[in-house]
Amino acid sequence: MDIRIYYEDTDCGGVVYYANYLRYFEWARTEYLEARGISVVELLKDGTQFLVVHADVDYRSPARYGEVLSVETKLTDIGRSSLTFSHVIRERASRRVVVEGSAKLVTVDLQGKVKRLDPSLVEALQAPVERGH
């Protein structure tokens, strides 16, 4: 997934504000799900939601206004009720690593009670995606 850096994404020095990378991770996870036919809206209708319970971010080099970033997202661990995604954000043209990180999500019902991942959801999460998605 590519993200163009706009003025609103930056601090007063023209560098991407550090907390925005968590937003980019979130966007990339949503794209990961959608590319596999998993709709967050449909999950909510079925009584399932994901909550981030832990996030790590390692800042490697600054991204600046006007650059385009590419976000690579992989599902690196699946537990009974949790998912861990890893993310690498690179400046698209140079492939320079900007940020690396991960997020652990827990599956809960609409009241916030932890629930097991449905086997069909696990299967969909592990499905390969055709290029172009």
Can 118 be counted among the known catalytic residues? Answer: no
**What's residue 129's pLDDT?**
82
**16, pLDDT greater than 60:** yes
Confidence of residue 131 (pLDDT cuts 50, 70, 90): low
**What's residue 132's pLDDT?**
56
The dihedral through the CA atoms of 131, 65, 96, 62 has a sign that is negative
Confidence of residue 47 (pLDDT cuts 50, 70, 90): very high
Instruction: Report pLDDT digits (tens) over 85-104.
Output: 999 999 999 999 999 999 99
| Domains of the chain: residue spans and CATH | 2-126 (3.10.129.10)
Q: What is the pTM for the complete model shown?
A: 0.91
Instruction: Please calculate the CA angle 114-40-80 and round it to the nearest 5 degrees.
Output: 30
**48, pLDDT greater than 60:** yes
Amino acid identity of 48? T
Task: Select which of 2, 11, 56, 109 is catalytic.
Answer: 11
